[in-house]
Structure 1
Amino acid sequence: MKVLQKYFLALVPPPEILDRVQGIKLQLREEFGIKYALKSPAHITLKMPFSYNQAKETLLLERLAEQMQEQRPFDLKLTGVDTFGKRVIFLSVGRSEPLLLLQERLKVFCKRELHLVDELSDRNFHPHMTVAFKDLKEGHFYEVLDRVKELAADTEYSTGELTLLKRIDGAWFPHRRVPFGG
């Protein structure tokens, strides 16, 4: 029997960055009741959530590992705070050539190998780490934005693996890590 499961592909930061961003999300929950962003770890989405046959998960991971063989580790920069209108507050991620090429490679892979449709987010990639969305109230928007600016700090780190996240009981969990091969 075919069981469809929800997945997405992302870059999850190292533990020290993960903890720092989680701390911002927890502070927003405490101060403003914003908790929706807590349903996933800090990450940079490379492919938005998609449904895939859970029975073929091992094959998916094998194909991803093949794709990552030529990928070399690269540095990422968190560069301040920005927004998508008054709907989303996020930590900005510097657009670098290695990041853009990785996202493009995965876009092509998902279309050819997984037969996923090319979505607007695939064509208009805007790397970021979300800290507040969905339950962010417009009346508190600027107050929350100012608080995130106080809590956030620019930083740089190296990334060397892709993460397959899986939805379990309404939350997203890092399911498998696929190391870069280069």
Structure 2
Amino acid sequence: MPKKLGKYFIAIVPPEPVKEKITEIKAQVKAEFGVKYALRSPPHITLKMPFVFPEKKEANLEKKLGSFFSQETPFSLSLSGIGKFGERVIYLRVRYPPDLLLMQQRLVRFGKRNLGQKIELSDLNYTPHLTLAFKDIRKPDFVPLMNFLKSRVSRYDLEVTQVSLLKKTNSIWGLQNNFNLLK
């Protein structure tokens, strides 16, 4: 019987009410511009891009991640301003302390050593951001969509005390588990 592989990623998911406010903005983007792909996952700041892992070892993955994150220290960050990657991605900028980059680098090394993950180019060129729209933005809508988002987002300050493992099920990314930063 072939191994069943699940698809996962690791991210910071903002706590309520920030999570709800950003989800509302993404829903407005869908209503106004028909751009919906960003609604397939909760608002998040990716720490480790999607990877595959044997589902039968999922409990072991969660145990190892829980152990890793229990050695990490909570920190603060802010979300403010709109940015873009070309004309394919519009995101909320992340204003972050060095703690975020250092944790992401430790996580990448941990994944290679303890989970058998490859280090990807995206792991090395890490740019923290929170995606608001991507993939299905029509070229003529790009500038109006940027302006629409600039008029709707404000500044959000977060205390990062946990990190989440997300799993893809039927094209939707859902929260699989949360890991507290305890150090």
Per-residue displacement from partner, 1:93-117 (whole Å, max 9, x unpaired)?
A: 0132111111011110111111111
Deviation at 1:79, TM superposition (A): 2.2
Unpaired runs of 5+ residues, structure 1, are none
- State the percentage of identical aligned residues: 41
Matched, 1:16 2:20: no
Give the number of aligned pairs: 182
Q: CA deviation at 1:72?
A: 1.3
Deviation at 1:156, TM superposition (A): 0.8
Mapping of residues 33-112 of structure 1, within 5 Å: 33-112=34-113
The one-letter amino acid paired with 1:31 is E
| Offset from partner CA, 1:75-130 (integer Å, 9 cap, x none) | 01112110001110000001321111110111101111111111111001000000
| Structure 1 Cα separation of the partners of residues 117 and 181 of structure 2 | 23
Mapped to 1, the partners of 2:66 and 2:46 lie a distance apart of 18
Residue 132 of structure 2 corresponds to 131
Report how far residue 55 of structure 1 moved: 0.7
Distance 1:156 1:47 in 2: 22
Q: CA deviation at 1:34?
A: 0.5
Residue 154 of structure 2 is matched in structure 1 by 153
Query: TM-score, normalization: structure 1?
Result: 0.97
Query: Whole-Å Cα distance in 2 between the matches of residues 48 and 80 of structure 1?
Result: 23
Structure 1 residue 150 displacement after superposition: 0.5
CA distance in 2, matches of 1:54, 1:100: 28
Cα deviation for residue 3 of structure 1 reads 1.1
